[in-house]
Amino acid sequence: MEIDLDSLSRDELVKLRTKVEKAIRTHGERERRRALEAAERAAAEHGFSLAQLTGVPGVRGRKSPLPPKYRNPANPEQTWSGRGRRPDWVNAALADGRALSDLAI
């Protein structure tokens, strides 16, 4: 593919340079993704998942959510696993003088 650079304006050249630099930076990741997809297809043709063959759990899956450890007494549908940022309802209960153990399931 040959591009006539002399016919492009300065703005077009700058935009082209930006696109080329981004393509170069992301090339490795695109190739890795293609290779992973090809490996997954090959494993599926033989009736396996890539995770089963590599012994690496969740190669393309998400981790299952952690079981809840705490429940909002005012709204039992709201739970928290104890990991990550505390939900507002936990912060409100702690501000009201309740202990975290009071919210435990």
Domain annotation covers residue 37:
yes
Give the range among 6-20, 38-52, 61-75 with minimum mean pLDDT: 61-75
Report which of residues 51 and 38 the model is more confident about.
38
Domain annotation covers residue 64:
no
Let me know whether 50 and 13 are in one domain: yes
Domain annotation covers residue 62:
no
What's the pLDDT at 56?
74
What's the pLDDT at 66?
86
pTM above 0.95, yes or no: no
Give the range among 36-40, 63-67, 80-84 with minimum mean pLDDT: 63-67
List beta partners, residue 71.
Answer: 79
Helices (runs of H) and strands (runs of E) counted in the chain: 3, 2
Domain annotation covers residue 59:
no
Number of domains the chain is built from: 2
Q: What is the rounded CA–CA span in Å between residue 72 and residue 68?
A: 11
Domain annotation covers residue 90:
yes
Domain annotation covers residue 61:
no
Domain that holds residue 13: 8-54
Q: What percent of the chain has pLDDT over 70?
A: 93
Contact, 68 vs 79, CB < 8 A?
yes
Q: What is the rounded CA–CA span in Å between residue 14 and residue 19?
A: 9
